[in-house]
Chain A
Amino acid sequence: MRIKKEAADFLTAFFICTTCITFLEGILGMLFFPDMKLGYDAFFSPPFFAFFSVLFGLVTKSKKELTVKQVWLRRGIHLLLIEGLVLGLNYSAGAVFEPVVLFVLILSIAVVFAAVYAIMWVNDRRSAAMFNEKLKQYQSKALE
């Protein structure tokens, strides 16, 4: 059951990430490279980055119970890995960005990163609300 839950979490994060990256690429492209023409292969870019971004999330996993500080530290490493992946691939593909574009790109990656975790947290909050409702029923039933 745990593996199933992990797989479901992976897929959820992947699809949220793909959506966010698609929006990010669209917005940044319109702002900084409005005349650039892209081929069909560009469609594979969001799921590609999403897949590796979520895969890098393995650094946040641990068999041991992590403290809040450890969780934040690992999330920081996760973000650095994603930034490294995006900038590294762009650099190796020969892309040269102006400092402003580079700064906006780095910031946007961090925003998408935070947005994905925020959406997943909201999902967990919905799940907790459902649990709390059932808990009240469970407790009343047990007291009957």
Chain B
Amino acid sequence: MKVSIRKILKKEEEQVIIECVEITPEIKDIHSYVQTKGTGLSGVTFDQRMERFYLQDVYYFEALDEKVFAYTKQQVYEVKMRLYETEQLYKTCHFVRCSKSVVLNLMQLECISPALNGRFFAHMKNGERLMISRQYAGKLKQIVMGGGSDED
């Protein structure tokens, strides 16, 4: 596929145009990736200030008491989304469900270690530790390890 970049003067006129014969799953992936890459999200901080932040800075999304929070290195934001929406919308940006209440960013994952009852801990790059439940451990391994996962 031919790729070209044309420089323009105005930031607000930046755009990506995909020219294709047919909308294949690969094209859909590229579309979804472009839509979310460098995505600016809006969220409300604990002191009720509305702020913008980048998706790639989010370590994980967590659902608590019907609210969804995005955790970055500096701040915790309440976002106006459902948890399943973050999972579906940002899966092409390496976000994956690791428990009923958490969707984590694989790019911000340092490592995993075994916990009790066949579960695993996810150690994030900010030092936080999240629980990976049995239900989602297989899917997570499949994404990272591909078809050769021992969970298959």
Please give the residue numbers on chain A whose beta carbons come within 8 Å of chain B beta carbons, in ascending order.
Answer: 1-2, 4-5, 9, 60, 65-66, 68, 71-72, 120-121, 124-125, 127-128, 130-132, 134-135, 138-139, 142-143
- Contact: A139 with B138, CB < 8 Å? no
Q: Decide if B4 is an interface residue (CB 8 Å cutoff).
A: no
**Interface majority SS (helix, strand, loop, mixed), chain A:** helix
| Cβ–Cβ < 8 Å partners of B114 in chain A | 121, 124-125, 127-128
- In Å, the complex CA distance between A95 and B90 comes to 63
The answer on a CB contact under 8 Å between A65 and B100 is: yes
Contact A135 B138 (CB under 8 A): no
Query: Chain A residue with minimal CB distance to B116?
Result: A71
B141 & A131 in contact (Cβ 8 Å cutoff): yes
SS of B interface (majority)? mixed
Residues of A within 8 A of B94 (CB): 142
Report if B111 contacts A (CB, 8 A).
yes
Contact, CB under 8 Å: A60 / B106: no
Contacts of A124 on B, CB cut-off 8 Å? 114, 118, 120
Complex: how many Å from CA A131 to CA B106? Answer: 12
Beta-carbon contacts under 8 Å, B99-115 to A = 99-100, 106-107, 109, 111-114
